[in-house]
A and B are shown apart, each in its own frame.
Chain A
Amino acid sequence: MTEHPLFQLTLARMREFYREPEAIFWVFGFPIVLAFALGLAFRNAGPGELKVGVAAGSGDSALAATLDASPRLGAVVLDSAAARLRLRTGRIALLVVPGDPVVYRYDSTRTESRLARLEVDDALQRASGRPDVVSVRDERVAAPGSRYIDFLIPGLLGMNLLGSGIWGVGFSVVQARQKKLLKRFMATPMRRSHYLLGFILSRLVFLFLEVVALVGFGRVMFGVGVRGSMLTLAGIAILGALSFAGLGLLVASRARTIEGVSGLMNLVMLPMWILSGTFFSYARFPDAMIPFVKALPLTALNDALRAVMIDGTALTGLGAPLAIVTAWGVVSFAVALKIFRWR
């Protein structure tokens, strides 16, 4: 068994990978650093105290005191130059200019500013005696599953599968071509399919470590759980890794130089990082774009991963996205095999 060419090719691929410290960082370290940084930046402490400014003028300090009394606002009195600067740089969300009427100066496209507008208005109107007409009660939800980090971890997992599939396969294929190692292999009785399958099999081994590292990190650090079955998650990850390894082979099928293939890789990966709902929901894109975005393999994979991790969907409920992922993999592999430059 250990003398089988497929085994030896897979082993050689794995050795070349784990002896490359940079590759280890980009595959295992980078997604974890990213998850950690974004997890901290968007932790569920809420927006906290909103900073607002009060323009210097008659009654400014009384106004600032009124606003400061609200637990959700922090107000400072500023002269007009300082106020303009702070407003522009986002250090205050809104500027209140005392007078009659009171003027709210803010950028209505900023979520934070609009929130500040509501809070400031609420505090001012209440302080001036406005009664609450309808009685209400707050119920706060902070259950795991609805936080940003719960959204982020499956996205990072998908992005990581894409990245390691394309980088892991693409660079080593082109390097072997550039060093004429491919040509040398072609002078042996090695089967071409064994060579390509070796890449895909070695990906599966590392895939396991990648998934454990990222999901484990999310669990320990942020309590991100997997609501669905672990087996389903593993199955989706395997399918994704195979599909992206096929895509990696396609990207690397013709390129003769590392520079050439790097450009192609970025061309393939960058749009998907942005469009496929890795860091934010793709629902934010215009409706006309959504069908196109949904047809991308990373979008489909992210959707499937989120469905399992967040909603606990069973495998049977994931037919559509998994079919898209599979189709990309099969077509890429078939085309790659057809157009592959073997020397």
Chain B
Amino acid sequence: MGAPWRDGAEGRALRERLGIQLQETQLADKLTVVETLSLFRSFYRRSHTVDEVLALVELEEKRGARVSSLSGGQKQRLAVACALVSKPELLFLDEPTTGLDPQSRRQLWEIIRRFKHAGGTVLLTTHYMEEAERLCDRVAIMDHGKVIALGTPRDLIASLGADQIVEFALSDGTTPAGLEALPGVKRVRPGPDRIALTVAEVHRAVPALLGLVERRGVELSLLTTHHATLEDVFVALTGRQLRDD
């Protein structure tokens, strides 16, 4: 859509095709849900009816309620409804689930998935790696304004070269030497309260780790393993956890 992004006819034609939800926008408190949607709807030549878009975001029972009386999740769904009302081709969502409870977050994911399945394109920014992993076909990881990785969630996770993460901590809080040499361990990442190992073969790495710990004569205070996630990719790439940022 390489058209100019300004006021005037081309800018308007471009914005006809977009739906945008901005994180910092607070909709007018004194208007009701229906009034807010009718207002946004009036700006577009082509649009859903208010009832259609209310059904899309499941806000039908709040149609007559003032915006000020909505919960955080309902407000966020209304903001998304304002973005969807124009039947956009491209939907921009700016941290749509920040600060929401898990129930509301899942509701929003469902709305986004339905829009995607109907053929729409979504550009989503989020701090929740789980959200990106579940919703996105392509993920760009940004650090200090630069894209530092780009690909499908699966590719990005595969780029770690291992698919399991083993996290452990010792009761005396020390980091044993020789972890890199353990079979199947690709990478060691000491953290403030635990040590994370990126591991290719968990069935070989864990017994070797237990053996190492036993030889040192200390006890484990924590041991967990999980499949590598986007979060592990993010942390591996940015080292954010260590930088305390």
Contact = CB atoms under 8 A, between A and B. Distances in A.
Contact of B20 (A19, A179, A187, A190): A187
Interface stretch (A7-15, A30-38, A75-83): A7-15
Given A184-B20, A187-B15, A179 B41 contact: no
Contacts of A192: 7
A291 interface: no
Interface residues of B, number: 26
B25 A188 contact: no
Interface string A146-183: 00000000000000000000000000000010011101
B42 A5 contact: yes
Contacts of A184: 20, 22, 25, 27, 82
A206 to B, nearest CB: 15
Contacts, number: 67
A188 B40 contact: yes
Given A12-B28, A181-B25, A188-B86, A7 B15 contact: no
B39 A180 contact: no
Given A187-B15, A188-B15, A189-B12, A179 B42 contact: no
Interface stretch (B30-38, B157-165, B205-213): B30-38
Contacts of B86: 188
Interface in B1-49: 7, 12-13, 15-16, 18, 20, 22, 24-28, 30-31, 35, 38-45
Contact of A12 (B7, B13, B20, B31): B31
Nearest to B17: A189
Nearest to B21: A184
User: Which of B12, B22, B28, B40 counts the most chain A CB atoms within 10 A?
Assistant: B28
B205 to A, nearest CB: 49
Nearest to B47: A3
Given A16-B28, A19-B30, A8 B15 contact: no
A155 to B, nearest CB: 32
Nearest to B7: A192
A139 interface: no
A15 B39 CA distance: 12
Contacts of B44: 188-189
A179 B25 contact: yes
A189 B16 CA distance: 6
Given A9-B39, A188-B15, A188-B44, A183 B22 contact: yes
A135 B162 CA distance: 120
B28 A188 contact: no
A15 B22 contact: no
B26 A181 contact: yes
A184 B18 CA distance: 12
Interface in A183-216: 183-185, 187-192
A100 interface: no
Contacts of B82: 184
Interface of A: 3-5, 7-9, 11-12, 15-16, 19-20, 176, 179-181, 183-185, 187-192
Interface of B: 7, 12-13, 15-16, 18, 20, 22, 24-28, 30-31, 35, 38-45, 82, 86
22 contacts: A7-B42, A8-B39, A11-B39, A15-B30, A16-B30, A16-B31, A176-B28, A180-B24, A181-B26, A181-B27, A181-B28, A183-B24, A184-B27, A184-B82, A187-B15, A188-B15, A188-B40, A188-B86, A189-B12, A189-B13, A189-B45, A191-B12
Given A9-B39, A19-B30, A183-B25, 14 more contacts: A7-B42, A15-B30, A15-B31, A179-B25, A179-B28, A180-B25, A181-B27, A183-B24, A185-B43, A187-B18, A188-B15, A188-B44, A191-B12, A192-B7
